[in-house]
Amino acid sequence: MNRHSTRTPSPILSLVPILVLVGLLFVTIKLFGSDALSGGSQIVLLISTAVCCVIATLYCKVSWGSIETAITNNVSGIAIAIFVLLIIGALAGSWMISGIVPTLIYYGMQIIHPGFFLTSTCLICSIVSVMTGSSWTTIATIGIALLGIGQAQGFPDAWIAGAIISGAYFGDKVSPLSDTTILAATVTDTPLFTHIRYMMVTTVPSMVITLIIFTIAGFSHDATGTDQIVRYAAALKETFNISLWLLIVPVVAGILIARKAPSLVTLFLATALAGLFALFFQPDILQEIAGPDVHGASAKFKGLLISFYGSTQIETGNPDLNELVATSGMAGMLNTIWLIICAMSFGGAMTASGMLSSITSVFLRFMKRRVGMVASTVVSGFFLNVTTADQYISIILTGNMFNSIYKQKGYEGRLLSRTIEDGVTVTSPLIPWSTCGMTQATILGVSTFAYLPYCFFNLISPLMSITIAALGYKIYLTHEINKNVTPE
């Protein structure tokens, strides 16, 4: 079919595949809950892609070859990101089994101080979430322990939940192990560590304000019960060889990140070094993973390989800690990779059909200046969170919708990736019917509307993103970066 014979779809028609996606996601999440990402959401994306293709070929007269090419280009563009995801799965497993993460958790829990419980809770959850890359795991493990301690000390459940969720989503947002962090960087074609460094401009001020609020709120309370934290610390020390020497690995990783080493190189070296430390510091753990049928050096090698690629379960004597130190390795990243591939297919079909450009043309009318552009991205991301009830889909759709707009206006991809995280990732637990909102409310036993006013980090981050855009701090046009000139 000749390119010039294609028909441009209207914005309303272009919304049909998205409405199909939203409707099917609503049903899928209602049926599967937090397990929707195990396959249901991926199938929904493929169905929505099919709907888009039907409209594109029958109404827009777009050739099937053009659609295939767009999908292929989209998928091939995430090849490096897939490798990064796989290595991160291996890194998460090796850092846990080597004792690096348990050591950080062990010493992190020592900062609990009377009178500063809410602040300490937020900080501890931040540390754990940064090191695990998972807000859900942090909330379901350390979060539950901190909730019990806070209740014993007389803190309202909503305040405790707000501190837990604020800290957990700070870590989830900036951790290189977090799938949402990787996803936001991927859909905007931004290097992972470039994305993380740029997020600090809005994330650090938001967290500082949050900690100040929690510190002031905690002044009127006297923290007394820390038995649960003591039990956690004792179980970690009994199970793992806790040593400050293990912190050499995150220090080396931090140096590589600061020196702007490529993501793949940094993650690979951090994984390999952690594996080496595991052989020396945690031989008993590796033996437990390998099983009773293998012994000696063979057991260490087998246990190490399993920690890289597969699931591990370590018995600590504490059920909550068992869940925290469990890992899934490379295999645990396959659902995310599957989701990204399906989403890239949907984005490719939407691009080839002209539907994405039709929708973005509507946004362009309201985005005359930088602040309007960033504010529109934040609001759109939150709106997609509300309608799709899934942060992963919202990140992908927001990235696809605004990518071309930011490029047209000459802004870097890192501005879009940061704005997506500020508007989507941190607001997801504030929506009662979203996967995050449902999960956190269920785990903590506190309704979403009850803890929402106290999730200060999650509420401040979107506003901080718009504020920084208004100030123009470290926001440059691509051709002005080297000149250090802030554009309007």
The CA–CA distances, whole Å, from 369 to 356, 409, 478, 485, 488 equal 21, 10, 16, 16, 7
CA proximity to 427, closest of 246, 180, 221, 192: 180
User: Which is higher by pLDDT, 163 or 151?
Assistant: 163
Token reading at 157 = 């459940």
| Highest mean predicted confidence (pLDDT) among 60-74, 112-126, 342-356, 468-482 | 60-74
Looking at the fold, whether 32 and 135 belong to one and the same domain comes out as no
Q: Is residue 380 part of a domain?
A: no
The residue that leads in pLDDT, 291 or 204, is: 204
- The residue among 430, 474, 479, 425 whose CA lies nearest residue 452 is 430
Based on the fold, state whether residues 52 and 128 are members of the same structural domain: no
113 and 175, same structural domain?
Answer: yes
The residues, any chain, with a CB within 8 Å of residue 80's CB and separated by 6 or more, are 264
Lowest model confidence (mean pLDDT) among 128-137, 138-147, 201-210: 138-147
**pLDDT in the model for residue 54:** 93
Show the 3-state SS of 85-122. HHHHHHHHHHHHHCCHHHHHHHHHHHHCCCCCHHHHHH
For the segment 406-425, what is each residue's pLDDT rounded down to a tens digit? 888 888 888 999 999 999 99
What does the chain come to in residues? 488
**In this structure, what are the phi and psi dihedrals at residue 411, rounded to the nearest 5 degrees?**
-95, 155
* Model pLDDT for residues 115-139, shown as the tens digit of each residue: 788 998 999 889 888 877 878 778 8
- The residue whose two tokens read 């989403």 is 343
- Has residue 354 been placed in a domain? no
For residue 312, the cross-strand partners are 327
Residues 308, 93 contacting (CB under 8 angstroms): yes
pLDDT class of 223 with cuts at 50, 70, 90:
low
Residue 296's contacts (CB-CB under 8 Å, 6 or more residues apart) are none
Tell me which amino acid residue 332 is: G
Is the pLDDT at 483 greater than 60? The verdict is no
Q: What is the pLDDT of residues 77-101, one digit of tens each?
A: 777 778 877 887 888 888 889 988 8
DSSP state letter for 421: I
Same-domain pairing of 114 and 39? no
The pLDDT of residue 159: 93
- For residues 290 and 144, state if they share a domain: yes
In total, how many domains does the chain have?
2
Distance CA 185, CA 92 (A): 19
- Position 100 in a domain: yes
pLDDT one-digit tens code per residue, 165-195? 999 999 889 888 888 898 899 888 888 888 9
Same domain, 112 and 225: yes
Nearest to 415 by CA among 360, 356, 478, 344: 478
Same domain, yes or no, for 100 and 45? no
Q: Are residue 49 and residue 194 in the same domain, yes or no?
A: no
Q: Yes or no: say if 175 and 168 are a contact pair by the CB < 8 Å rule.
A: no
In a domain, 464, yes or no: no
Q: Are residues 51 and 129 in the same domain?
A: no
Determine, yes or no, domain membership for 424. no
pLDDT digit string, tens, across residues 360-390: 777 766 666 788 889 889 988 888 887 666 7
Q: Which of 36, 62, 88 is the last residue of a domain?
A: 62
Percent of the chain at pLDDT > 90 equals 24
Q: Is residue 75 part of a domain?
A: no
Domain that holds residue 119: 80-332
State yes or no: pLDDT of 283 exceeds 50: yes
The verdict on 28 and 157 lying in the same domain is no
Q: What is the pLDDT of residue 484?
A: 46
**Domain final residue, candidates 332, 362, 377:** 332
CA separation for the pair 381, 188 (Å, rounded) = 14
Instruction: Convert the pLDDT of each residue in 245-261 to its tens digit.
Output: 998 988 888 788 667 67
289 and 204 within one domain: yes
In this structure, the answer to whether residues 171 and 104 fall within a common structural domain is yes
Q: Is residue 356 part of a domain?
A: no
Could you tell me if residue 374 is inside a domain? Answer: no
